[in-house]
Amino acid sequence: MEAVQETNFSLPGQTNFYRGKVRDVYTVGDQLIMVASDRISAFDHVLPRPIPYKGQVLNQVATYFLEATADIVPNWLMATPDPNVAIGRACEPYKVEMVIRGYLAGHAWREYRDGKRTLCGVDMPDGLRQNDPFPAPIITPATKAEEGHDEDISREEILEQGIVSAEDYVQLEHYTRALFERGTQMAREQGLILVDTKYEFGKKDGEIYLIDEIHTPDSSRYFYLDGYDERQRTGQPQQQLSKEFVREWLMTFGFQGKEGQLMPSMPDSFVEQVSNRYIELYEKVTGRNFEKADTTNILERIERNILTAIG
């Protein structure tokens, strides 16, 4: 199976190129062409081997949810000419990520465990256990870092620093809550709990758009609904549908992305396991069967489909 480690296309009319941890982004005119590679990241590091079909999974999950939420907020997506490619409007991104949390998990739990009861200016009630639901979902924004870790920031700090205007921020909060409510409903229909996620927004011609990906395993955390109450009652870890198992595998080799730590090499068996888990995740989240795209000469296929799409 071929996999996409990176792309290096020279597209007609191309004016910019950016390589993120997972996506290669080309600017052509007023459009962005996002290629979802098969790279996988953990602890803010890209792992050395690509995962077959991971890019297809991410791109198609994001497309599925962008189409399912277009009635809530306009989004950047215009076309998906290839299983690994999305083409859409180039927007001016807001320099914050709108993180919303329905449950005390992940970063919020670690802060809570360490004694903090305020996160990004939002109070968290006493008496919660790991993975308990909040009384109502909380929005805990983060600044978008060009490199390294994103940083927590409060609503008040965003407004004081002029990162987002007060009028726009109210709208971003409204969209964030409505998207999370829709995502929660869709997850529950698939026997899942949408625990937390993040949304990114941009502006074009005075209008706010939802950009990037939504509700994917790279941007969201899911629990299995079946057995959730029993596991909470008995203090057991929740069964997650996310790439957390990749982080756990790295940690067994003593790697958490810290200085001086050596990233372990990934054997074929683990690469195949990760690929299968992503495919399982796609099918569980969307309720659709995953159809593996032909990966023979995959870079040629992607470039050909992009060129056809942009004429």
User: pLDDT by residue (tens digit) across 254-306?
Assistant: 999 889 999 999 999 999 999 999 999 999 999 999 999 999 999 999 999 99
Percent of the chain with pLDDT over 70: 98
The ranges assigned to domains in the chain are: 93-241
User: pLDDT by residue (tens digit) across 66-105?
Assistant: 999 999 999 999 999 999 999 999 999 999 999 999 999 9
Q: What is the Cα–Cα distance from 54 to 38, expressed in whole angstroms?
A: 5
AA identity, residue 272: E
* Stated pTM of the model: 0.91
Q: Would you say 84 and 36 are in contact if contact means Cβ atoms under 8 Å apart? A: yes
Q: Which fold has domain 93-241?
A: D-amino Acid Aminotransferase; Chain A, domain 1 (3.30.470)
Using CA atoms, how far residue 84 sits from 2, 53, 81, 137, in Å, is 13, 9, 8, 32
Tokens 């050596």 appear where?
262
